[in-house]
Structure 1
Amino acid sequence: MAEAFLFDLAIEIMTKLGSHAIQEIGLYWGFKDELHKLNRMVSTIKAVLLHAEELSSENRQIKEWLSMLKDAFYDADDLLDELSLKALQKQVMTGTRMAKEVRLFFSSSNPFAYGLKMAHKIKAIRERLDEIAENRKFFLEERHEERRIAANKGRDQTHSFPPEVVVGREHDKEAIIELLLKSNDEENVSIIPIIGIGGLGKTTLAQLVYNDEKVKGQFELKAWACVSDDFDVKLIVEKILESVSCQKPNSSEMDALKSLLHEKIIGKKYLIVLDDIWNEDSEKWNRLKDLLVGGARGSKIIITTRLRKVAELARPIAMYELQGLPESESWSLFGKKHSSEDKW
């Protein structure tokens, strides 16, 4: 289903537009307002994509409309990737030849002219999307709900095992661990989201923290659940119980699962990782939170997500926004991954 993919792509574009790196580069070159306008336009279109998904198989006009959207979204995504690369180049450490070349680019090139050029490109994409939206001659409902699952598309399930290759995340790991070990006098169970665009290493960071010796010594019980597209409370509880007991629960009835979960966590200081969350439904999130009460003071839940809205929905004690690696460490990671693959 191409439309479900478009919904995903809209979320990805909005996440990139809201990232610290893109915002910083927009401020640097003077087109932050254009980025904000583009974000609002993509958000407006995203609201009707779920309904378009339902109707497109039987409506050629909607299918053609979505095809035009797809081309425009691709161009927007490519432009944001270019801006993200410029932001990373700007952060390159001084002292290297590359850094000097980057500094030369930013200083000797006319930053005003470049900023104006990029502002025109962003504006052109926004106006193109606006025209596509205006030319829609059919009714679509706005549906502000969690992502619909495409039958032919799923996400890989993650696991709690430590990653084989890690570069440049020691500082991030220690920062998360500090938040984990910090006491919270207001409530027994606290939530810490790790947020960032796709591919930055949110899951890898969570795995590093989960397997750290200091963390192991601080929590009586640990569990990992990959949530991904389907925020099904019963399924999440089953995954938590399976992670704790190393076997699937005998019953699939919600009442029995609730009793089993309560039995496992009551009075214990626990750490639970909920990886790759997309849910924007506060009612579902509150249902899960209600099932996880009863842990001892100091219990923590780490969630990883691309969406700030999802993180804010969880009412966290703190949010950790993961940034891209410096270019030197990115190349080091690239080399190590390929070296590992060559061994096979």
Structure 2
Amino acid sequence: MSVIGEAALSGFLELLWGRLLDSALNFVADHKQVQQQLKQWQSILPDIQAVLNDAEEKQIRNKGVRNWLEDLQDLAYDMDDILDEFAYEELRLALLKTQAQASISKVRKLIPTCCTSSNFSPTSFLFNNSMIPKMKEITARLDSLTTRRNSLGLSEILSQGATSKGKKPRLQPTSVVDEAVEYVGRDDEKRKMLDLLKSNNSNGVFVLSIVGMGGMGKTTLAQLVYNDASTKESFDHRAWVCVSDEFDAVNITKTILQSITSDPCAYNDLNLLQVKLKEKLSGKKCLLVLDDIWNESYEDWTILRSLFGAGTKIIVTTHIQNVSSNVDPVKAFHLDKLSHDDCLSIFTQHALKARNFNGHLQFKEVGENIVRRCNGLPLAAKAIGSLLRTVKDLGEWEKIYESEIWDLPEDQCGILPALRLSYHHLPPQLKRCFAYCSIFPKDYEFQKEEIILLWRAEGFLQLKLKGQIKDPGNQYFQDLASRGNMLQIGG
């Protein structure tokens, strides 16, 4: 089952549970057969929901569990359809009641005489002839899933979200660095890059490339160089462009021009944009970062490079060696994995707000084991550290370390196992909101208010349980934003 499928399933089960506790039972209070079926759903659904985390993890290696999850997802949609029919019928009857209150005599003329007797139930025909068989069939499927659940050995595992308070989706990486974090492990590369950027050259465009696999810290290194005080002093203009997998010369040129002028640009003609940019850069020193290039076309690169002359220095980040070769760098920086100590520092900063385990000795052994599983990848250390930042239960840390998701190859799921693990332990309400973002193009920039409205339109924020927060959309966004690795998956 896909990541999006898992999120949809978690979300649907929670929404269905909320709807069952809401108005459905009151609406059909006088219909015993319907009440009986709904009460059975109420008793079975929590037992299935309780093993969902275990199932989502075991389905990686167990086809039977994967099929169980797919059948559960189909059933969730069917249950949702029936509750939608309830909601429609309740709305229809409420409308009739409103009309009746306005004009009792007019409503009597519209309703047949046989329907005005004291024994009339407006929902009886609907339930007796269509709903009851559907509901019994769903109950039978729920029972079957319960039986299969037991035979598959699925057990209850609370997610981290339950024990604490509350193509890849991503926000566009920017030039901004987190001042609250101490960056470790790339001091040597940073120093060498700064020395090269300060050097004089009059032979045209000067390019440095940063190459490494996903999660190695390419973007972070570029940010550190871009924001260094000596860099700001050495260049008249600086511009940061996240290129990603869509190499759009118009958008790239427009972004550079807007960064230099600090003014919005309405031009969409490439030639006009290039002329304007050349005018602005004439006789000026400019530092340009082209972050996360995927496009291997040498022709596309030469068209973009033609905009720049002596005085312009470019930093390119990419995980593709051919891209680095195409840009013909003065020097290519190939990032290796970090040392265990550096990864440990990244992990503890995000998990414990500390440089080491000295003040948290109870987590030292399992924490160091988790860091070893991060395999020298700074993004993995950050992701799992962020996941555990509010978890004070040693048992929850041990569950993270023992998870089978660590053993899942990266090419099978499309993301680092550490990032998938971080997603897996999100609370259900955050899972579905996060996964919904995958409908946007890669690096799409959306506004907070926009995405919250879309979540609300999808029904993700419409839980009506006691103790619900007043503004769930804003809270969900803040919770996801605080897990920075989830919203910005970059190199």
Written as runs of structure 1 = structure 2, the 5 A alignment for 1:68-107 is none
Residues 205, 305 of structure 2: 8 Å contact kept: no
SS at the partner of 2:306?
helix
Q: What is the deviation of 1:312?
A: 0.6
**Partner residue of 1:253 out of 259, 269, 276:** 269
Change (3 A) 1:247 1:334: farther
Residue equivalent to 1:243:
259
SS at the partner of 2:174?
coil
Q: Write the distance in 2 (CA, Å) between the matches of 1:183 and 1:219.
A: 12
Q: What is the deviation of 1:182?
A: 2.0
**Partner residue of 1:190 out of 195, 201, 206:** 206
Paired positions, count? 191
Residue equivalent to 2:231:
215
**Partner residue of 1:162 out of 168, 173, 177:** 177
**Partner residue of 1:272 out of 264, 271, 288:** 288
Residues 272, 300 of structure 1: 8 Å contact kept: yes
Which structure has the larger Rg over C-alpha atoms?
A: 2
Residue equivalent to 2:191:
174
**Partner residue of 1:199 out of 201, 215, 227:** 215
Residues 237, 286 of structure 2: 8 Å contact kept: yes
Q: Write the distance in 1 (CA, Å) between the matches of 2:227 and 2:302.
A: 28
Q: Give the aligned residue type for 1:312.
A: S
Residue equivalent to 2:324:
311
Residue equivalent to 1:331:
344
Q: Write the distance in 2 (CA, Å) between the matches of 1:198 and 1:302.
A: 17
Q: What is the deviation of 1:266?
A: 1.1
Q: TM-score, normalised by structure 1?
A: 0.52
Identity within the alignment, %: 39
Q: What is the deviation of 1:176?
A: 1.0
SS at the partner of 1:205?
helix
What is the CA deviation profile of residues 105-129 of structure 1, one whole-angstrom value per residue up to 9, with x for unaligned ones?
xxxxxxxxxxxxxxxxxxxxxxxxx
Q: What is the deviation of 1:279?
A: 1.0
Residues 163, 208 of structure 1: 8 Å contact kept: no
Structure 2: segments with no counterpart, 5+ residues: 3-59, 61-166, 354-385, 391-481, 483-491
Q: What is the deviation of 1:155?
A: 4.9
Q: Write the distance in 2 (CA, Å) between the matches of 1:266 and 1:285.
A: 20
Q: What is the deviation of 1:218?
A: 0.9
Q: Write the distance in 2 (CA, Å) between the matches of 1:242 and 1:190.
A: 22
Written as runs of structure 1 = structure 2, the 5 A alignment for 1:109-188 is 152-153=167-168, 155-164=170-179, 165=181, 166-185=183-202, 187-188=203-204
Change (3 A) 1:235 1:264: same
Residue equivalent to 1:42:
none
Q: Write the distance in 2 (CA, Å) between the matches of 1:316 and 1:168.
A: 23
Structure 1: segments with no counterpart, 5+ residues: 3-70, 72-151
Q: Give the aligned residue type for 2:332.
A: M
Q: Write the distance in 2 (CA, Å) between the matches of 1:184 and 1:308.
A: 25
Residues 276, 303 of structure 1: 8 Å contact kept: yes
Residues 225, 231 of structure 2: 8 Å contact kept: yes
Q: What is the deviation of 1:250?
A: 2.3
**Partner residue of 1:283 out of 299, 304, 308:** 299
Residues 155, 228 of structure 1: 8 Å contact kept: no
Runs of 4 or more consecutive aligned structure 1 residues displaced over 6 Å after TM superposition: none
Q: What is the deviation of 1:311?
A: 0.4
Q: What is the deviation of 1:320?
A: 1.0
Q: Give the aligned residue type for 1:303.
A: V
